[in-house]
Amino acid sequence: MLGNKAIKAALMVTLVTLSGLLPLQASADCKFVSTKDGSPLAIKAVDSDTPEAKQFIATCINPYTKKFAENKELANAGKKKFGYWSCTQCHGGNAGGQTGPSITDATWQYSKHVTDKGMFETIAGGSNGGMPTWHNQPAGNPELLSTDEILKIIGWLRVEYKGGGDTPWLNDK
């Protein structure tokens, strides 16, 4: 039987092929785009990546979101990173907002933030509205965050969400 992922992957390939954006033989990896200008955001799997990071880069699905939703204790790993990288300075200790916007309410700076891929793109590559570039690859700075660290932060932010309504990020399988 075909798994959900296989069906999704097949659909993706069909859509991409139909839209003529890519040649057939292109890899099926997740295509990240910059929140600044919609240009491609070059983030690739590297040897040091965790299996979760590699899975995300291949599928656009953050495995931590479901894991942390099922066991909220695990989300502390993401909260620690949020503090360690001083995201708290602009967004507050629990991401409820300070000089930067709240990340736990239903108001999104960009509508794509209801997907983990979209939120990842803004954290990884920054925005024109004051969000710095955090991922070590687009920033060209190995001292900055890895894919895995950003994914853990996103998993924690989803646990902290208090906005009610739909939670589309939990629908990803």
Q: Which residues bind ligand HEC (CB under 6 A)?
A: 82, 85-87, 89-91, 100-101, 103, 108-109, 113, 119, 122-123, 127-132, 134, 153
Q: What does the alpha-carbon distance between residue 113 and residue 50 come to, in Å, rounded to a whole number?
A: 23
CA angle 35, 75, 109 (to 5 degrees): 25
CB of 134 to ligand HEC, least distance (A): 5
Instruction: Give whichever of 91 and 117 is closer to ligand HEC, judged by the CB atom.
Output: 91
Least Cα distance to 150 among 57, 70, 58 occurs for 57
Which residue's CB atom is positioned nearest to ligand HEC? 129
Supply 105's token pair: 């309410």
Residue (50 or 102) nearer to ligand HEC, CB = 102
Shortest Å distance, C-beta 157 to ligand HEC: 6
Minimum Å gap between C-beta 147 and ligand HEC is 13
Of 118, 107, 19, the C-alpha closest to 61 is: 118
